[in-house]
Structure formats: C-alpha cells, structure tokens
Amino acid sequence: EHKHTLPSAELFMSSAAVASAERPSQGSRMSDFQKRMRNIVVNDSIRSKESTVGGKNGRPSNVKVVHTLNDYKVAVGNERDKVVVVRFYATWCKACRAMQPYFYKLAQTYKNVQFVEVPVTDKNANLHQGLGVPSLPFAHVYHPEGGLVEEMKINRRYVPKFAKVVHSYAQTSCNLVDGETANPYPDPDEVVKLSARVRV
C-alpha cells in the first residue's frame, strides 16, 4: 500500500509534455535518465489506453474503468439495482498491480455486482481527494439502498477480509439457522448501552 498526497495537476506529465520530451530541441540532448523516464511515461500511457479498450488484460465484463467525476457519477451514483465495488489504484503502485488479479477474480465470482476501477490520473486527482481516499489500493462498497457502506484498504494482507465484505453484500438473501427468525445482528442501541456499562 502506498500512502499518498496527490499533487496538483501541474506536477503530472501531460501528454503535451510527453510529446515534447520525445522531440528534444536541437540544442539539447536527453540524458539516459530522461530517456528512461520518457519511456516509462510513454509506455505506461500506451498500456493504460490498451487496458480501457476492453479484454486486453483479462478484465471481466462487469468491471468498468472510470477516469472522470462524470464517469464516476454514472457508474456509481446512478446504479440503483446492484451493489458497486470500487477499486482506487495507480498504475505505478506495486501493491495495486498485485491486487488486480484478486479484484478480477471477485468480479468473475460475483456477476451480480458492478465492479469499478478508478486509476489515479492528472485529470481525476481531485476525485480521489474528494472521496477521501487515504492510500492506495483502496476500496469503497456502495449498496443501492444504503449508499457508501464500506471503505477499506485492499492490499494483499486485506484480501480475505475484502472478499468476505464483498461476499456479504453480494448475497441476495440472508442465511438463518433452522427455525430462527430473530435478527442475528446486535441492536445498535443495545451495543451503546452495553459499552457504557463496561466503561463504568
């Protein structure tokens, strides 16, 4: 997981900056470091574009990639029938790349859930900040009747917990022990009363 503070858009290399880096001016020569950095940015940009075409890297059909606030509103805010699981990540983040196969496996397992990927880009840094994403990789779970119901880290260490959370929201029914009809979850008021007694 990478803790991050997203810098302003000016600090990110724009596509114009990448294009100009490819054509050094007559009087200047690029150092080896500049060439390597240019290649990393250009190749990452190409891979990112390929991954949104669909199916290039095994993305299940119920996984959408969103890059803008408007796309996010459509994919998440307008979904009224399904649970939505969102993965915030960066293409340069090692932990994020390691999490991708697990995320896709969950998407293949729970076809009735909409999965959404939101990569950090220069155009959506404010989206990540506005949603309070404290680190990468990170997840949100939205329920059609409850809105945002879960926020959590999702690096490899948290995969089992994340899978249980997705499973619990993906189920279309609740399991009850034979003959039981009582709510298996504690009453929030009783929990508060009990915790007040324990402190005394």
Instruction: Look at residue 115 and give its three-state secondary structure.
Output: strand
CA distances for 110 relative to 75, 79, 82, 132, 177, angstroms: 17, 16, 11, 26, 24
Could you confirm whether 93 is annotated as catalytic?
A: yes
Given 96, 107, 120, 166, the catalytic residue: 96
Q: Distance of CA 30 to CAs 22, 35, 44, Å? A: 9, 6, 19
Which member of 6, 90, 93, 166 is catalytic? 93
Q: What are the distances in angstroms from CA 148 to CA 90, 98, 140, 169?
A: 22, 25, 7, 12
Interatomic CA distance for residues 94 and 40, integer angstroms: 15
Q: Is residue 174 among the annotated active site residues?
A: no
Joined together, the tokens standing for residue 197 give: 């007694």
Residue 36 and residue 21: Cα distance in Å, rounded? 11
Host H or E run for residue 118: strand 114-119
What single-letter DSSP state applies at residue 133?
Answer: -
Catalytic residues: 93, 96
